Structure 1
Amino acid sequence: MSAHPDLIPPCDVLEAFDLVPQSLARATSGLMNPTWYAHSSGGAALVLQRVNPIFSAEVNIDIAVVTEHLAAKGLLTPRLVPTRSGALWVEHDGVWRVLTRVDGICRDAIESPAQARAAGGLVAQFHRAVRDLEHSFRNRRLGVHDTAQHLRTLRDALVEHRGHRHYAAIEPLAERVFEAAAKLPPLPAVQDRIVHGDPKISNLVFARDSDRALCLIDLDTLARMPVALELGDALRSWCNPATEDAASARFVRPFFDAAIEGYSQAAEGFLTPEEWGAIPLGALTITIELAARFCADALRERYFGWNRARYESASAHNQARVQGQLRLAEGIRCELAALEDKTAAAFGR
């Protein structure tokens, strides 16, 4: 279910980017940026987006710099398409932009170890390609993976929303989140690196006729952070063959093994032992952190998009997401020692 289903791109925006109005087709996936497939008057296949207001317009400068760097390194990547006047974006009841469209498919879940291996390899190529990029990000995502702060936010939400209509159902979920978080060992202090910032499986484009991973999309989340958090976020997504909110959400060990193998082979010594050693714990930490974020928004109902076709409210959808992430976290916790051994073997210790 896409965000803002009734939104229609303004004619002035289409004119600015030289888009053919009749070519617009609304993308059916994606909860962050409303998206349309389109063609220019010259026939180029493009993507039109209205940028979510949580991001500043200058995030497009970051995207332009990083994608130019990726392209120079030979990586396939979507590129921003300027307006007729050369601007990277247009402001018209929001920020609008256009990007080149990479032909391929996006998946809601990984279906095989081969896909997980390809995903791991692609993200490693991305990380290696930007390791030498010198750039001061305009859109700074401070505290995006501050787990302690997200837990405090959940505690505050429990106090502020005691009158919420679903409070009786949400409070026990919150207690389960706090209990899981209390068992988390601290992550080691390591260097920040440039990362994608949201490498869930739906942000990877795969070839239509094979399991080959082509590129990363939705680059608004570009940032600097420890790679263990980036890969932790990736693995909690990739290793769950169901959706975030599914009752069948579970951790699939063969997907983890394949993803780690794919990443380590493509990384070619890129990470230090302290960095790769923290990847399994990063996966557990991010899964519990995300459960806390979903739980807080089950009360606040103002951040995450939600599926109106399946749920009666944002709260109901977020409650299902919390339960899914808690199931996933328990699966990771049960296998944490084995995951650490596999990671060490993959990186050649």
Structure 2
Amino acid sequence: MANLPPASEGAIAAALAAFPELDHPEARPLAGGLINQTFAVEAGGERYILQRLSPIFAPAIHWNIAAVSERLRARGERSPRLLESAQGRPWVDLGEAGIWRVMTRIPGVTFDTLVGDRAAQARSAGALVARFHGALRDLDHAFQALRQGVHDTPAHLARLRQALAEGAGHRLFGEVEALAGRIFAAVEGLPPAGEVPSWVVHGDLKISNILFDEADPREARCLIDLDTVGRMPLWMELGDAWRSWCNPGGEDQSEARFDLEVFAASVEGYLGDLGAPLSDAERRSLVHGVEWIAVELSARFAADAIFESYFGWDRARFPAAGEHNLLRARGQFALFEAALTTRGERAALLLGGR
């Protein structure tokens, strides 16, 4: 659930009233979001999404979302449209009641993991992401209020060292310390990504941020949850995608398998629809992207197991946040190890036939 207290009926009504385009709107809660509070809205025969923004995001991110979604639609891609509020911005500030936004709702269905014909879904998702990247390649926009240090591996490793230095008395210290030793050793053995250009990217390509066709769930329709759009190298963007798409067990398991068939299908879809050549350096960086992201996330979750600071944990399965984060850390390290066993095959797919 979102890391926000439930919104009052008065706040929801005030938020809806702030968007003149909505004609007699009615809202109902939508479950599933970990960060923002989300409501389905029907108004004037149209469907929308109302969201209360988490305070981890600044309102200025909406200028980023608007620029990206407008460009995507101009290039023939589906993307939700932000509505303008009575304040003349693509959000409304209700003071203590929070920051709210409304966007058009695109029909479709989301999944936490690939289902059914997983390879077909991955191929379509890869092609969709390629069109997203291609449409935004020359976007002239000064991105605002970006998250800092999202894939700053040295910073995450430093935080893990801090957790070990400060957490000797923690109930999970011994288990975290043992895992941390393996994480530090793994990082020492990874090739550096090298100097490669940044692209305009989605920033959080977990599978649940891809909207699939409800009638034919093999077809990826559009990317949703654009709060994280910005610029970064493709190995970060796609490495994060592959650690989600290619792990059929998901993030909340201590063991993992890397699905090479899904990886191959996604690469086929991506490279087939990108429409712009990647340099040899970019392709080489993609080989190791999922390895870097998986071990980085393992370090992040291991530190969170000591600090117990991560906002979303399953109270039904775990006694505290630390236990859930330790499981996540082990799962991501298991994924890293599984990915290593496929490095040769992945390299052949990414580097062959250029």
State the Cα distance separating 1:248 from its structure 2 match. Answer: 4.6
Distance (Å, rounded) in 1 between the aligned partners of 2:249 and 2:23: 37
Q: Which residue of 1 aligns with 2:126?
A: 120
The worse-fitting range, judged by mean Cα deviation, of 311-320 and 107-116 is: 311-320
Distance (Å, rounded) in 2 between the aligned partners of 1:43 and 1:296: 48
Cα pair 1:62 1:138 within 8 Å, conserved: yes
- Per the normalisation by structure 2, the TM-score is 0.92
Cα pair 2:239 2:286 within 8 Å, conserved: yes
Pick from 78, 81, 84 the counterpart of residue 76 of structure 1: 78
* Counterpart check, 1:174 vs 2:176: no
Matches within 5 A, 1:278-297: 278-297=285-304
1:252-276 CA-to-partner distances (Å, cap 9, x unmatched) read 1100000000101001334222112
Q: Which residue of 1 aligns with 2:194?
A: 188
State the Cα distance separating 1:14 from its structure 2 match. Answer: 2.7
* Counterpart check, 1:161 vs 2:167: yes
Matches within 5 A, 1:222-233: 222-233=229-240
Q: Secondary structure at the residue paired with 1:341?
A: helix
The worse-fitting range, judged by mean Cα deviation, of 238-247 and 172-181 is: 172-181
Distance (Å, rounded) in 2 between the aligned partners of 1:303 and 1:84: 35
Letter in structure 2 aligned against 1:100: T
Q: Any unmatched runs of 5+ in structure 1?
A: none
Cα pair 1:245 1:323 within 8 Å, conserved: no
Letter in structure 2 aligned against 1:80: L
State the Cα distance separating 1:3 from its structure 2 match. Answer: 4.1
State the Cα distance separating 1:98 from its structure 2 match. Answer: 1.2
Matches within 5 A, 1:137-286: 137-210=143-216, 211-286=218-293
Distance (Å, rounded) in 2 between the aligned partners of 1:344 and 1:204: 26
Change (3 A) 1:164 1:39: farther
Q: Which residue of 2 aligns with 1:309?
A: 316
Pick from 4, 25, 29 the counterpart of residue 28 of structure 2: 25
Cα pair 2:257 2:335 within 8 Å, conserved: yes
Letter in structure 2 aligned against 1:104: G
Q: Secondary structure at the residue paired with 1:24?
A: strand
Q: Which residue of 1 aligns with 2:91?
A: 89
Q: How many corresponding residue pairs?
A: 346
State the Cα distance separating 1:310 from its structure 2 match. Answer: 2.7
Letter in structure 1 aligned against 2:42: H
Distance (Å, rounded) in 1 between the aligned partners of 2:46 and 2:179: 48
Cα pair 1:20 1:38 within 8 Å, conserved: no
1:276-335 CA-to-partner distances (Å, cap 9, x unmatched) read 222120111011111111111222222442223333322222111111111110011111
The worse-fitting range, judged by mean Cα deviation, of 324-333 and 3-12 is: 3-12
The worse-fitting range, judged by mean Cα deviation, of 247-256 and 62-71 is: 247-256
1:145-165 CA-to-partner distances (Å, cap 9, x unmatched) read 111111111111222333333
Letter in structure 2 aligned against 1:59: I
The worse-fitting range, judged by mean Cα deviation, of 48-57 and 20-29 is: 20-29
Distance (Å, rounded) in 2 between the aligned partners of 1:248 and 1:255: 18
Change (3 A) 1:65 1:48: same
State the Cα distance separating 1:20 from its structure 2 match. Answer: 8.5
Cα pair 1:128 1:270 within 8 Å, conserved: no
